[in-house]
Structure formats: C-alpha cells, structure tokens
C-alpha cells in the first residue's frame, strides 16, 4: 500500500504534528512498509466476527455521585507552561 508524501502531510495535520520535508521523505516509505505488512489482515474473512475493544467484557464502572475533594488549583497549575495564577494561558484562539 503506497502512502504518498501528500498523505503524510495530511495525516500530520490531523495529528497536529509539524513535519519537515526531510521527515516526510523518510516517513512515506516507512509507513508504506508498515501498512503493507498490516494489509495481510485484508485476506482473512472477518465479516461475521464481532470486534474486541477490550480483552474482557467490561461494563460501565460506576460509583456513587458524591462530592469529594479534587486536585487543588495550585497543584493542577503547577506543571502548566503559562498561567495567570488562576487559569492556564494559551495563544489567541480567535482573531480580532
């Protein structure tokens, strides 16, 4: 399965990754090889097989809806790259 350089650029955008031309040239053949290998799943009849998303059957794990302490603000903000002391700060989301 041939993955083109354009596809790599598109996927990188979806994944929010800035990729250099050099990276693109390296990733295209590598991802093509990996997806070629993964193509072998196409040769198996799987239409009637149910999918597994977890190794064991899991149902919603619920607890009582009781208020309890959560991470205090100072601790939650301690690792943030930029804050105003109360909230994290980011570059402008909207222009104007």
Partner 1 sequence: MPIHTVKEIVESLKRRETTPVDWTSASLKEISQHDSKVQAFLHVDEEGAMNRAKSLSENGNASLFGVPYALKDNLCTEGIRTTAASRILENYIPPYSATVVKKLEAAGGVLVGKTNMDEFAMGSSTENSAFQKTKNPYDLNCVPGGSSGGSAAAVAAGMVPFALGSDTGGSIRQPAAFCGVVGLKPTYGRVSRFGLIAFASSLDQIGPFTRTVEDAAYVMQAISGHDPLDSTSAPVDVDDFISGLSADVKGLKIGVVTDIDSEGLHPDVRAAVDKAVETLRSAGAEVVEVQLPHSQYAVATYYLIAPAEASSNLARYDGVRYGKRAVGETLLEMYERTRSEGFGMEVKRRIMIGTYALSSGYYDAFYLRAQKMRTLIRQDYEAAFEQCDVIVTPTAPTPAFRFGEKVDNPLQMYLNDMYTIPANLAGLPGISVPCGVSADGLPIGLQMVGRAFDERTLLRAAYAYEQLRGFAMPAPKVEG
* Residues that bind partner 1 in the complex, under the rule CB under 8 A: 3, 7-8, 11-12, 14-19, 23, 27, 30-31, 33-35, 37-42, 44, 46, 49-56, 58, 61, 63, 71, 75-76, 78-82, 88, 90-93
φ and ψ at 88, to 5 degrees? -75, 150
Q: Which is nearer to partner 1, 75 or 85 (CB)?
A: 75
Residue among 10, 53, 59 at smallest CA distance from 31? 10
Let me know: does 83 contact 77? Beta carbons within 8 Å. yes
What's the min distance (Å) between Cβ of 19 and partner 1?
7
């Amino acid at each position: 399965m041939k993955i083109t350089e354009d596809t790599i650029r598109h996927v990188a955008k979806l994944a929010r990754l800035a990729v250099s031309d050099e990276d693109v040239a390296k990733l295209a053949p590598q991802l093509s090889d990996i997806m070629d290998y993964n193509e072998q799943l196409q040769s198996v009849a799987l239409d009637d097989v149910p999918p597994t998303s977890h190794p064991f059957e899991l149902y919603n794990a619920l607890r009582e809806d009781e208020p309890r302490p959560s991470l205090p603000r100072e601790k939650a903000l301690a690792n943030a790259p930029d804050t105003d002391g109360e909230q994290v700060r980011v570059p402008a989301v909207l222009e104007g």
